[in-house]
Amino acid sequence: MARYEAKTVENDGDVDAFLASVEHPVRRRDGFTLRELYERVTGEPSRMWGPAIVGFGYHRYEYASGHSGEVGAAGFSPRKNATTVYLMDGPAAYAEDLERLGPHTASKACLYLKDLEKVDLEVLASIVERSFRKHHMERPA
């Protein structure tokens, strides 16, 4: 069986250049806002993971199947239809907070935000910080 090669890996991509290249003006603006918010609440610098995810910190996972990998412990991606906020423990873990967040949609592992000016950024910061603290790991030496 072929070994799985992760496509979304940490790299030396320029986060500022990536965010500046986001075509949609609201997603571009929100990307810079989220970068500041994430750096404040995680205490970690932003890093590119793959070509389109801005990640913070480090998390190693391993599935029962034996598949394992590394991801940012917190991250987001300004996509065409909405900005995706990745939560390692999923949005359901923050159901009460989400009632106060403002307009959003959610999937099993992500929040989708169309405009940060319409959401409560302190609620979002609290969600991101708590998820990050639960899942952030020290990088192996």
With bands split at pLDDT 50, 70 and 90, how would you rate the model's confidence at 21?
A: very high
Question: Which distant-in-sequence residues (6+ apart) come within 8 Å of 83 by Cβ?
Answer: 27, 30, 31, 34, 76, 77, 112, 113, 114, 116
Q: What is the residue-averaged pLDDT of the chain?
A: 92
pLDDT value of position 6: 65
Model pTM score: 0.91
Question: How many helices (H) and strands (E) are present in the chain, helices listed first?
Answer: 4, 9
Percent of the chain with pLDDT over 90: 78
State pLDDT tens for residues 60-107.
878 888 877 888 999 999 999 999 999 999 999 999 999 999 999 999
Domain ranges of the chain: 10-135
Q: Is the pLDDT of residue 4 over 60?
A: no
- Within 10 angstroms of residue 84's Cβ, the number of other Cβ atoms is 18
pLDDT value of position 109: 92
Q: Which residue type sits at 72? A: G
> Per-residue pLDDT averaged across 49-54, rounded?
96
> Per-residue pLDDT averaged across 120-126, rounded?
98
What CATH number has the domain spanning 10-135? 3.90.1150.200
Residue pair 55/87 in contact (Cβ under 8 Å)? The answer is no
pLDDT value of position 79: 96
With bands split at pLDDT 50, 70 and 90, how would you rate the model's confidence at 26?
A: very high
